[in-house]
Structure 1
Amino acid sequence: MAHVFNPYFTQIKNDLIVSANMIVGTGGTNDYNQKTTIQLTIPAGITVVEAGIRVAVTGHTGCVIRNTANNKQWALVTNRNVQAGDIERFYIGVTPLKTYTLFFDCNQGSMAMFNWSDDINKIIPNINDY
């Protein structure tokens, strides 16, 4: 291994507490509609995922997302007073690096999406699927 010269010098005179903040970044995936099954691997450091369902037609929305391993429902939007273009959001507590197999059953044109970020990690989930 080659020696790398480091021109910086730090002298510690008192006790020092060193901490690190993990930045998990942001990300997402989308465009799942009609009847589809996907595998979603949760990135390292992510503990909460936002599942969003974008409504295609006013008042006509049916969409469900569920984990096929345990039938836990991650999101459900049914026919009710929603407008085209609205996004219904659900927050799911997840396990980092775990792969989930998810089943979607959404009306034509409705779309499911997932997002994650440091800010989403701070939200208290309404569904836990660890």
Structure 2
Amino acid sequence: MGLNRMMMKNGEVKVVDGYKFWSYEEANNKIISFTVPPGIKRIKVFAKVDYAEDEPYATYYAGIKNTTSNNKWGEGYSDTDDAGVNVDHLDIDSIVGVTPNKTYTLLFRCYATNGVIFSWGKAINAMTPTVEDY
């Protein structure tokens, strides 16, 4: 029996929890296609941005953007002042409203992270999106 038939129950798609991880090397200025699983309406996007410190005027940036709609699925950064003291830091942490089964073409600029993780499931589907990209 095919996966799609196994996930169907009385005409409804069963929502299955899952995730996809990309290392910082895989997410270094790369265009990546991602297909939303059946029944999934929200994707949790998370990446811990490297913490800038001990270097004057350091700036680390990370971002994920849909190449078609130009919607930003997440942005993060870390900045220091002239003494190398961190003055601002933000990890990527967003909930993206998506279309089930749709393939998105995304530009990842996430070298200054510990990698990127997309998570999905029933609990995430119930969350309010911070980004809408239907």
The answer for the alignment partner of 2:85 in structure 1 is: none
- State whether structure 2 residue 71 is matched by structure 1 residue 67: no
Give identity over the alignment, percent.
28
The answer for the alignment partner of 2:126 in structure 1 is: 122
The answer for the alignment partner of 1:29 in structure 2 is: 20
CA contact (8 A) 1:55 1:61 kept: yes
Which of residues 35, 41, 56 in structure 1 aligns to 2:35? Answer: 41
CA contact (8 A) 2:63 2:108 kept: yes
1:37-79 deviation digits (Å, cap 9, x = unpaired) = 1100001100000011122334654101000011111101122
| Helix, strand or coil at the partner of 2:78 | coil
CA contact (8 A) 1:23 1:118 kept: no
The size of the alignment, in residue pairs, is 109
The answer for the alignment partner of 1:104 in structure 2 is: 108
Structure 1 distance, partners of 2:102, 2:12, is 22
**TM-score in terms of structure 1 length:** 0.72
Structure 2 distance, partners of 1:90, 1:42, is 16
CA contact (8 A) 2:94 2:130 kept: yes
More strand by share: 2
**TM-score in terms of structure 2 length:** 0.70
Structure 2 distance, partners of 1:21, 1:98, is 18
Structure 2 distance, partners of 1:88, 1:129, is 17
| Helix, strand or coil at the partner of 1:120 | helix
